[in-house]
Structure 1
């Protein structure tokens, strides 16, 4: 049976240790660490920061469900909002792509240090001038290097798909996993993203069985093919009973992490209401 965790990416008005402590106040068993500004952005995240986070984890007893390295907003000082994933593992510029490979390795290091089972990363979108076929080649080359690193540290890497990215669905992620052929590569299954793409979330769980490194949850208005905006469970149309039944069916016993970054001005309310809505399922 799954356990509930909450992502610190809702708590961007707080530093990372404070976010961990506040999440613990709402009854969660786990916490996902945001590997980006203003939390663990690695060019600025030093040993003292890591020790402060570990102290908060020790104090609260929370386990780390995942290290979320999907975005890298701190890289560009003047990037437009649409570029918050860049640079990515598919960026054509070799130096930028190398930076993202190293950044993902540092997310794996943090996962290893705090005892998290996995880190996750998104593929991003091919930038103008990069054909999808070229982007897939860059992705495989990047993953070869990152996964060797992950395997040595016994940390899994989950690809988090999202509509309109290079890898945007459950089936495309599973095809990538089969193609790469590494036991350390899996899927960080965001069931709201599955719904927006047009998949039934419970069916996505069944298809991804055996490859799930972590689960992200949020509600979606409009259900399948609804609007991609993360809502507190109960404010949209997803069937969470069916989702948790599916997780039980496939024997998933990891963390289901609420990802409610859309509530930075009221994260405690979002965390409390989400826990109250889903506690009966775990």
Structure 2
């Protein structure tokens, strides 16, 4: 069974209850929360999830210059591992089962060492955090970002290579149709090749708007997900059309309009009742 979630990252400046209530209203199964555990009230979130009868799907972890698994600075690498563990604690408290993971900081496009050294650092950090996650019933999902936001893991085959190096059941591959639309030759075929190692998928169209508002053909993607018996969440990660989409600007269409559009589009795609 396909489950639907929405990343609350785009609900700028909104109280979390309004976000959870909106997603429950439009029939989502889960809520993806921003990975800032120190800024989140886990107890209140648990109460709200119960109140609106909806799950915590996943945690969208945030990586920056101080949280970088492949930094040449060992202290920064340790920060990243500890940050992941704090996200695991947060996920465990609210019932989320997955945490997105990217080895490098967001918008970092140059390495600090040779590729093999950085992959070794990534492997070591992810394994430590992955063991901790597994002990708490949580999975880490290694996401491939496009070349303009990241230089190390751009395609799902690279994510899968790193996941196989870590070799833990609690660590899998994560895709994002926006990034894949830039980097993959055939999104559907890539999904099939990853198969049961695909633990999580972000959904956005080619312009990072709601699915159906760009030029991605989602029908073969849906068929590929059915072919691999994907049973995880499809999580909308929609972002506004700015050079810095994380600048906090409120865009009204990303609230009710895109939230409703997105789930209706995907349910039509999978021929489910709305």
Under TM normalisation by the shorter chain, which class is it?
A: 0.7 to 0.9
Instruction: Decide whether the 8 Å contact of 1:3 with 1:253 is kept in 2.
Output: yes
1:114 aligns with 2:102: no
Picking from 111, 125, 128, the partner of 1:142 is 125
Give the aligned partner of residue 50 of structure 2: 58
Q: Verify: 1:277 aligned to 2:236, yes or no.
A: no
The correspondence of residues 80-159 of structure 1 with structure 2, limited to 5 A, is 84=64, 87-124=67-104, 125=108, 127=110, 129-159=112-142
Per-residue CA deviation, residues 110-152 of structure 1 (Å, 9 max, x unaligned), is: 2222222211111224655433232212111211211111121
Other-structure match for 2:238: 260
DSSP 3-state at the match of 1:209? helix
Determine the C-alpha separation between the residues in 1 that align with 2:217 and 2:180: 13
Asked if 2 retains the 8 angstrom alpha-carbon contact of 1:194 and 1:204, the reply is: no
> 2: CA distance between counterparts of 1:117 and 1:235?
30
Q: Distance in 2 between matches of 1:51 and 1:173?
A: 33
Partner of 2:201: 215
Cα RMSD of the aligned pairs, angstroms, is 1.9
Runs ≥4 residues deviating over 6 A: none
Q: Report the Cα distance in structure 2 between the residues aligned to 1:60 and 1:192, rounded to whole angstroms.
A: 30
Cα shift at 1:216: 0.6
* Within-5 A mapping of 1:173-212: 173-212=159-198
Quote how far apart the aligned CAs of 1:158 are. 0.2
SS of equivalent to 2:196? coil
8 A contact 2:8–2:32 mirrored in 1 = yes
Q: What is the CA–CA distance in structure 2 between the aligned matches of 1:242 and 1:126, rounded to whole Å?
A: 31
Listed as ranges, the gaps of 5+ residues in structure 1 are 36-40, 73-83, 221-228
| Equivalent residue in structure 2 for 1:250, among 228, 241, 255 | 228
Distance (Å, rounded) in 2 between the aligned partners of 1:235 and 1:126: 28
Number of the residue aligned with 2:39? 44
Query: Which one of 210, 217, 222 corresponds to residue 239 of structure 1?
Result: 217
Question: CA 1:85 to 1:160, structure 2 compared with 1: closer, same or farther past 3 Å?
Answer: farther
Question: Residue by residue, what CA displacement relative to the aligned partner does 1:43-75 show, whole Å, maximum 9, x if unpaired?
Answer: 334xxx111111111111111221111x24xxx
State TM-score, norm by structure 2: 0.86
Q: Is this contact kept in 2: 1:11–1:261, CA < 8 A? A: no
For the residues of structure 2 that align with 1:85 and 1:206, how far apart are their CA atoms? Answer: 34
The alignment partner of 2:174 has SS state of strand
The aligned counterpart of 1:223 is none
Q: Is the partner of 2:13 in helix, strand or coil?
A: coil
Higher RCO (C-alpha 8 Å, min separation 6): 1
Assess, with a 3 A threshold, how the Cα gap between structure 1 residues 89 and 243 changes in structure 2: closer, same or farther. same
How far residue 168 of structure 1 moved from its aligned partner, in angstroms, is 1.1
Post-superposition offset of 1:98: 1.3
Work out the CA distance in 2 between the residues paired with 1:174 and 1:183.
13
